[in-house]
Structure 1
């Protein structure tokens, strides 16, 4: 069976990506220097040396920079993360390791994550282009679940994609609990979430 490689982006698309990268890195430098709440879109436009019209064309609100930046970071880190996950058994141990690594990353990004979640939940983009804003977490979950199924550790009467879909919503609930309830440790919230996903709501023995 012939496999065709994805087409390389054309010059116009490359220029668009380069501009978006420039805008995102400019915004991130300002966020880190002065705090997310203090930075305005006008300041980002001035620092990037572009018009506000151009800035708003690519990023309609400053919260839109966060998915762009974080999803790039996750995609770049995934090969190294996959290597670390391969060092532990598939199934629940692999998911636990992934969430431990994620908790470490989230603690470093906590000042931005509530705004990030709100942006993801209120994104009004064209459904035909919605995939452009995906984090890729669904595919990562599905991959780990499929590995657990192949090892006979997870149920196989449902597809990895469907199980990953449910895991994503449970994961979001754990994240929101950590972000909105004082005194909650993210590592603990993620472990409790995983316990419920893996063990269900039956009474502990």
Structure 2
């Protein structure tokens, strides 16, 4: 290979093209799996069936997604990234701070209800992944959303500002996850109502009401 050809292969433009193709394949595989999950149920669909319908080899599928739950993760994280810009005008209609967090949780509860059948295997898979983000663990971006909404509340003086927003978001996310898991283990519970209770506890603590 000549030096000119080598430079072309390793150029930023070529690297960007390869990454776009990789993302397109990931999206294709995940979209195919999601259609099958919705049609036949998560448990009934095999990785072999996904590979067959997506028209790829099993080796290719497993190289990108080691388990069905990883395909769910890709779908859900992609949906969150796509939805976040679209819901910001809705959030802007209410004041920064608690009201805005509450509205986001209402919207998220509605999304979770529409995906409730698939959420438990997704959450279990996420919890079983003990890697750090620097080690390749894929983040949902929810921590960044919570940090942004909390920072907006800090800017208005509604939330305490002596601790950084990312630290407060981390604690908030743990409470959020615990609430989600509780609801997923008991179908009688309303996610919207439980998220509202969780937010009240976070904002008001355990103190007795006057």
Q: Which bin holds the TM-score, normalised by the shorter protein? A: over 0.9
Q: Is residue 2:44 matched to residue 1:11?
A: no
Question: Is 2:147–2:168's contact at 8 Å kept on the other side of the alignment?
Answer: yes
Equivalent residue, structure 1, for 2:167: 162
* Unaligned 5+ runs, structure 1: 1-6
Query: Of the candidates 177, 180, 202, which is equivalent to residue 185 of structure 2?
Result: 180
Equivalent residue, structure 2, for 1:171: 176
Q: 1:124 to 1:59 in 2, by over 3 A?
A: farther
Q: Deviations over 1:131-187 (max 9, x none)?
A: 5x1111111111111111110100111000000000000000110110002421111
Query: Of the candidates 121, 124, 127, which is equivalent to residue 121 of structure 1?
Result: 127
Q: TM-score, normalization: structure 2? A: 0.90
Q: What CA RMSD, in Å, does the superposition of the two structures yield over aligned residues?
A: 1.7
Q: Is residue 2:37 matched to residue 1:31?
A: yes
Structure 2 Cα separation of the partners of residues 179 and 105 of structure 1 = 14
Give the greater-gyration-radius structure (CA).
2
Offset, 1:125 = 5.1
Equivalent residue, structure 2, for 1:70: 76
Equivalent residue, structure 2, for 1:3: none
Offset, 1:129 = 4.3
Q: TM-score, normalization: structure 1? A: 0.92
Structure 2 Cα separation of the partners of residues 13 and 126 of structure 1 = 22
**Structure 1 runs of 4+ with >3 Å offset:** 124-127
Offset, 1:95 = 0.6
Q: How many residues align?
A: 199
Structure 2 Cα separation of the partners of residues 198 and 9 of structure 1 = 46
Structure 2 Cα separation of the partners of residues 8 and 116 of structure 1 = 34
Structure 2 Cα separation of the partners of residues 103 and 8 of structure 1 = 41
Structure 2 Cα separation of the partners of residues 127 and 85 of structure 1 = 28
Offset, 1:188 = 1.1
Alignment partner of 1:153: what SS?
Answer: coil
Q: Deviations over 1:9-65 (max 9, x none)?
A: 522212211111111111011111101110000000111111111110000000101
Structure 2 Cα separation of the partners of residues 17 and 96 of structure 1 = 33
Q: Is residue 2:106 matched to residue 1:100?
A: yes
Q: Deviations over 1:64-115 (max 9, x none)?
A: 0111111111111111111110000111100110000011111100010001
Question: Is 2:133–2:139's contact at 8 Å kept on the other side of the alignment?
Answer: no
